[in-house]
């Protein structure tokens, strides 16, 4: 008997079509590395795409590919009147606040053996 995956909430296909916010943010390892680098940068530090790629230890292409996502969820913001375009972490956005809170909670929990 075949299972209809379109109505099964546990189906990978449905999860891909309607991912949770968590999955959207962490789906790509490079996004996780970029967010981790943003958390480590000094407050309001400005950077361009190449600098962010260097900080995060990912390719410039990875930064470029995920820039719209990070801007769209307001984790980063454009610095006005900069050429080439510069950006900065936006700690005041709701998503950034949640990321900062999660980071603090994980740090408080201490090391966990994987």
Q: 63 near 56, Cβ under 8 Å?
A: yes
> Structural domains in the chain?
20-102 (1.10.10.10)
For 84-108, how does the pLDDT look when each residue is reduced to its tens digit (9 = 90+)?
999 999 999 999 999 999 999 999 9
What are the start-end ranges of the H helices in 18-111? 21-26, 29-40, 49-56, 60-72, 94-109
Q: What is the pTM of this model?
A: 0.79
Q: What is the pLDDT of residue 100?
A: 95
Q: What is the pLDDT of residue 15?
A: 67
Q: What is the pLDDT of residue 1?
A: 45
Query: What is the pLDDT of the chain when averaged over all its residues?
Result: 88
For 51-64, how does the pLDDT look when each residue is reduced to its tens digit (9 = 90+)?
999 999 999 999 99
């Amino acid at each position: 008997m075949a299972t209809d995956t379109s109505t099964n909430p546990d189906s990978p296909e449905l999860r891909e079509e309607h991912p949770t916010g968590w999955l959207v943010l962490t789906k790509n390892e490079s996004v996780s590395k970029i967010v981790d680098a943003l958390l480590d940068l000094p407050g309001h530090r400005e950077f361009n795409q190449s600098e962010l790629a260097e900080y995060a230890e990912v390719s410039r292409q990875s930064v470029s590919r995920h820039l719209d996502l990070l801007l769209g969820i307001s984790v980063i913001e454009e610095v006005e009147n900069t050429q080439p375009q510069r950006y900065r972490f936006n700690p005041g956005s709701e998503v950034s606040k949640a990321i900062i809170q999660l980071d603090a909670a994980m740090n408080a929990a201490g090391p966990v053996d994987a």
